[in-house]
Structure 1
């Protein structure tokens, strides 16, 4: 991979501009530890491979983990964009807080997200992800395991409290009376080799942009408190719904039961897409090829979910 900036060849020290394509653009775990090596030509790259291969493979695994995290977030937001369950009337950013004004309703519907209410893409993501971490953890279980099947890792889920959101999101009116900062936020802890990462597909509801962050940095920067210790990530698309069906206060009315059944059907429709349209080699190839695959994935998923809402 040739880039414009000039640096020194890792093999001979001569001026060089060809980055190793295998490990370029990997995320940093420690500051500066993801810089890709550069060569003046293929001969030097070939001669240096015995010294570089272990690090290159490690960086490639990091890069795959990052791309998987981005695809997971995109999959969830695409699902919510089509299967949205709030009747929003206004989205307002005021005094550092994003307010989501809704029309209260007993019976929730599933419809296309009202994009005309918001122009800021980060505010749009926050609205789509608001109070949806439990849904995301369940919905994305099958897709997560499929994408990461080629990345040697251990995946766990854990509950935390976010002490320092960048942009708090508030629902108006809020029937539960709960502040999102008081509610546990569920994330994935991914361990590979001697690294531990947080994969957070719904952190955008707090204004967080990055979806893959080193574990200790995530906890420190966001002033997190661990609520429940990590447990094995074995979620299926409807695991949370199955649990909710056992709680008396969530089964008092026919509307509650019908809403849960509608959500169940939507998620199983999503699962069909994962089973039939997602390949585990989706993370292979160049950055441009992965980006093209991700774009195609999102477009196909949207069409697939639109079929459900018809």
Structure 2
């Protein structure tokens, strides 16, 4: 390995600035991406005026990498404890991810309830790690964007996370996935792969850099959550379907939903909002207090201090997710979700036989989906009478 030269005196050197060490690459070999080495602490101190602007940019990247790694782990923890799709097996062969779905219920008593229960994600112990990770996040990219909104706002946004000047939610078509997905639904029944439609974040930093943050990229074979946006586009040949403002998935403004059952659709949205509330309301207050009023303080400190803080946070989060699931299935929470769904359907979903429905036309239901989702948010804010 060739020796490195001290940035100050040009002697052989092997030590890098610990403050920016480990920052992700943005533009290999150009400007701020050039490694800076020192032969001694005195040379490092003498060179600080030349290095500090580069160091500042690299520290921003390093903090971004820390934030996105935590955000990915947050949503993975939710998915591990609260999955609806069970797979009996997963393996990758010839650029195809084969997922064999686990049947629900029994042939005599199949589970056809619209309100599926959360289950613990599991895979056979000999499953390839990438295949298992892809199965965990398969078809859940939009769900991840929904659950991560409050956390991403705390860790990334200006005046809060102080990293990004803009965050956008992108729905893209992945043209060059590392693998496509085939589902085995039963004996002799294999579903051909669909085009991979996928949600992710586009992040614009204060220093002008543009990054792709994809917490569920393992779905198509890219488990690393962070890379430059240009690299993401080049690697995946992603075609943009449409772009949404930050928070659109959370607030229910996404377009193009097509559901056959209005009640089950509204119930699902109510359920998602309710589970999110149980996950975050109490826990985020506790974490904010623990870190001096700003959750993004979690990202600070030396590499060792950060890893220790991250481990503690994720352990606490794991316990919190399990607690939230227990509360979610309490009689009180389930009754409230049923009541809120009925309120929403009664107030905002026209009966097929009423005059309003006739005025809209018989095919208005798919077009009305965004309004229903916004209506759910309004109904969720209506206090229910206390249960006896």
TM exceeding 0.5: yes
Matched, 1:234 2:242: no
What SS class does the counterpart of residue 53 from structure 2 fall into?
helix
- 8 Å CA contact 2:123, 2:132 repeated in 1: yes
State the 1:162 CA deviation: 0.2
CA distance in 2 between partners of 1:227 and 1:259 (Å): 24
Q: Which has the larger radius of gyration?
A: 2
Q: Distance in 1 between matches of 2:130 and 2:175?
A: 20
Residue 214 in structure 1 maps to residue 222 in structure 2 = no
Q: Cα 1:248–1:72, aligned 2, differ >3 Å: closer, same or farther?
A: closer
Instruction: Report matched runs for 1:65-144 at 5 Å.
Output: 65-102=64-101, 103=103, 105-107=111-113, 108-116=116-124, 119-144=127-152
Out of 2, 8, 11, the position equivalent to 1:14 is: 11
Distance across 2 between alignment mates of 1:268 and 1:226: 31
SS class of match (1:63): helix
Q: 1:250 to 1:282 in 2, by over 3 A?
A: farther
- Whole-angstrom CA distance in 2 between matches of 1:26 and 1:247: 39
Stretch moving more, 49-58 or 290-299: 290-299
Q: CA RMSD in A?
A: 2.8
Distance, in Å, in 2 between the alignment partners of 1:288 and 1:115 is: 32
Residue pair 1:91, 1:117 contacting (<8 A) in 2 also = no
Using the alignment, how far apart are the partners of 1:154 and 1:53 within structure 2? 24
CA distance in 1, matches of 2:305, 2:120: 29
SS in 2 for 1:173: strand
1:155 equivalent to 2:167? Answer: yes
Please list the CA deviations of residues 238-259 of structure 1 after superposition, one character each: whole Å capped at 9, or x if unmatched: 434x869x978354455x5554
Residues in 1 aligned to 2:275 and 2:126: alpha-carbon distance in whole angstroms:
25
8 Å contact from structure 2 (residues 86, 121) kept in 1: no
Give structure 2 stretches of 5+ with no counterpart: 105-110, 289-294, 327-388
- Which whole-Å CA distance do the structure 1 matches of 2:275 and 2:77 have between them? 13
Q: Distance in 1 between matches of 2:244 and 2:268?
A: 28
Structure-2 change in CA distance of 1:285 and 1:36 (3 Å): farther
How many residues align structurally?
300
Kept in 2: contact 1:163–1:223 (CA 8 A): yes
- Report the counterpart of residue 366 of structure 2 in structure 1: none
Between 150-159 and 96-105, the greater mean CA deviation after superposition: 96-105
| Per-residue deviation, 1:197 | 0.9
SS of 2:69 mapped into structure 1: helix
1:94 and 1:73, CA in 2 relative to 1: closer, same or farther beyond 3 A?
same
Task: Tell me if 1:263 matches 2:293.
Answer: no
1:257 and 1:234 mapped to 2: Cα distance?
19
> Deviation at 1:205?
0.5
Q: CA deviation at 1:124?
A: 1.8
Q: Is the 2:299–2:306 Cα contact (8 Å) retained in structure 1?
A: yes
| Larger RCO (CA within 8 A; separation ≥ 6) | 1
Give distance in 1, aligned partners of 2:260 and 2:307. Answer: 41
TM-score with structure 1 length normalisation? 0.86
Please say which of residues 47-56 and 112-121 is displaced more in the overlay: 112-121
Matched residue SS, 2:259: helix
Deviation at 1:264, TM superposition (A): 3.0
1:168 is the counterpart of 2:167: no
